Structure 1
Amino acid sequence: MISRFGLLKRKAGMTTSSFNEHWKNSHGPLAAQFPGLRKYDQHRVTNKEHFGIDHTRGTWDLDGFSELQFDSMEAMHEAIDSSAFLSAQSDEDAFLDDLHLVVCEKHRVVPLNLGDQPYIKRMTLLKRLPGVSPEEFRHEWLVKHAEWVSQWPNVLGYTQNLVIDRYYNSRSDSADYDDVPFDGIVEFWFRNKEEAAELYTSDIVMRTQQHALEFLDEITPFFVETSSVV
């Protein structure tokens, strides 16, 4: 299973509410028709606060993340070649100014356990340090960093999405790293900001962030609200 994330920037002059409405009610039903689509989530950005993080923030300014899951890269490309994809793509000009795409491997480190209480979710873009290779980043993040985070208390879920391909302008030809310059997307769930703020002052989190200094250049977080379309 792979996830295809779109990094969405709304059309200039469009309000957030109009963007969200068009994405949900007009674009969503079009994308939901893609053949081979296993799951489709819309993650609407609600807050861009650099909460609990000392690292440098990147320049990404986003209004949402789309996430479409397929069984394989081959299944994703079959969807891109379909008439349903052309219909959805023709709708993008109505609400988007910019769109970057990445394909990710999804690694669930802390299984999701939300219960029946309210929760908050944060999605974060990670960019590796210059001089750190993709292979080194993979090991530091998926092995060492995951072990640190798995020890955090009061985390409702933690998923690592490792970028394995990226696209910009073309939907079928891979883009250069400089066109889509980040290496992973974090999904983090907490009960509320108060518990998260307390957690970020703990010794285990401080030691985890010290490890992050060894392989991360930029950390760019966004609080989101997620709606499942498929």
Structure 2
Amino acid sequence: MSEQPANTRPGAVIGRRELLAAGVAALTVPAMARAQYTRMPPGIAKSLTLLIRKPGATHEEFMRYWLGVHAPMALKIPGMRGMVCNEVLGPSRGRNDIPGGTPILIDGVAESWKLESNSPSNPDAPPEARAWYSDGPLFVGEIQGYRVTENVMVPVKRGGKGLFSLLQRKPGTTHAAFVDHWLRVHGAMASKVPEVAGLILNEVVAPARRSDIPPFSHALGEVDGIAQSWHKDQSYRGVTSPEAKAWYADGAASIGFARGYYTQEHVVIDPHP
């Protein structure tokens, strides 16, 4: 999923030609197995965790502690294969063809890749992992985490500005059907979109909860997938190519609800060197 094109008027209807282009593109995408895109080595778990700072702290104070104290602790954890701290710059403009609701302001999105056996929540985990886990409540006020399966559709060099989109399927669609279309059709279409510099589609496997940090006070609802996208024009002014318009039309036809956040990536451990 990506941003609303800058040249699209609020309330504008996508034309018949664009919808037809989306349908033709979907029919011409080969029915490839999900394994072609999945970048998850055996025994490695990826988590995406949305963070809100503690009451009374500023965003700048949150970021200084996260990057200066908490993140470096991950370097000492055995089996930590990747960590990216995504600083949230603000909610995205959204799209008028996909409902987005009222933005929930968050400070950061943590990405981590680690050995299942060394999960910090495991009481038998290494002391370095347990110390890192215990440090979270010192600067995080609310948390919402997800265990995900990562699918790299368009590889990207990490460390720039990106866009996170939390997606829900349309009513009446199953999670399995949504994910199948999302990966096999929508994600595959992105490789032909000239404006796209990178795309990772994370299928949500299960929510990840903690007993020592409160969950979000504003419920996000069920999330089926979390898209990470990067544009060649990082101002995200929109897209104009026929391939991008077809891609947008397919997203509007398959995505029921979306919340987006612009981010600046801070790579602590490169997950895909």
Q: TM-score, length-normalised on structure 2? A: 0.70
2:119 paired residue number: 77
SS across alignment from 1:213: helix
Unaligned 5+ segments in structure 1 are 172-177
Name the CA distance, whole Å, in 2 between partners of 1:48 and 1:17: 17
Within a 5 Å distance, the mapping from 1:76-155 to structure 2 comes to 76-77=118-119, 80-81=122-123, 82=125, 83-112=127-156, 120-155=161-196
TM-score normalised by the chain length of structure 1:
0.82
| Cα shift readout 1:37-80 (whole Å, capped 9, x = no counterpart) | 11111111112132556321145432111111125xx3353773
C-alpha displacement of 1:159: 1.1
Q: Percent identity?
A: 23
Structure 1 residues 62 and 19 mapped into 2: Cα distance closer, same or farther (>3 Å)? same
Pairing partner for 1:63 from 107, 111, 115? 107
CA distance in 2, matches of 1:148, 1:48: 25
Letter in 1 for 2:246: R
CA distance 1:198–1:180, change in 2 (3 Å): closer
For 1:179 and 1:213, the matched residues in 2 are separated by 20
What letter matches 2:108 in structure 1?
A: G
Contact map agreement 2:201 2:228 (CA 8 A) in 1: yes
The 1:104/1:53 distance shift into structure 2, 3 A limit, reads farther
Q: Does residue 27 of the first structure (1) align with residue 70 of the second (2)?
A: yes
Q: Deviations over 1:71-120 (max 9, x none)?
A: 5xx33537733222332233222211111111111111112268xxx953
The verdict on how the C-alpha distance between 1:91 and 1:113 changes in structure 2, with shifts beyond 3 A counting, is closer
> What SS does the corresponding residue of 2:177 show, helix, strand or coil?
helix
Shift of 1:16: 0.9
Cα distance in 1 for residues equivalent to 2:207 and 2:230: 25
CA distance in 2, matches of 1:161, 1:30: 25
Give the Å deviation of 1:139. Answer: 0.7
Q: How far does residue 138 in structure 1 lie from its aligned partner after superposition? A: 1.1
Distance in 2 (CA, whole Å) between partners of 1:180 and 1:86 is 29
Q: What is the distance in 2 between the residues matched to 1:34 and 1:184?
A: 28
* Count of residue pairs the alignment pairs up: 217
In the other structure, the counterpart of 2:203 is 162
Secondary structure of 2:237's match? helix
* CA distance, structure 1, for counterparts of residue 230 and residue 118 of structure 2: 27
Go from structure 1 to structure 2 and tell me whether the alpha carbon gap of 1:76 and 1:102 turns closer, same or farther (over 3 Å shift).
Answer: farther
Output the CA distance in 1 between the equivalents of 2:135 and 2:48: 17
Between 182-191 and 37-46, report the one with greater CA deviation.
Answer: 182-191
Q: Which amino acid aligns with 2:188?
A: E
Distance 1:80 1:34 in 2: 13
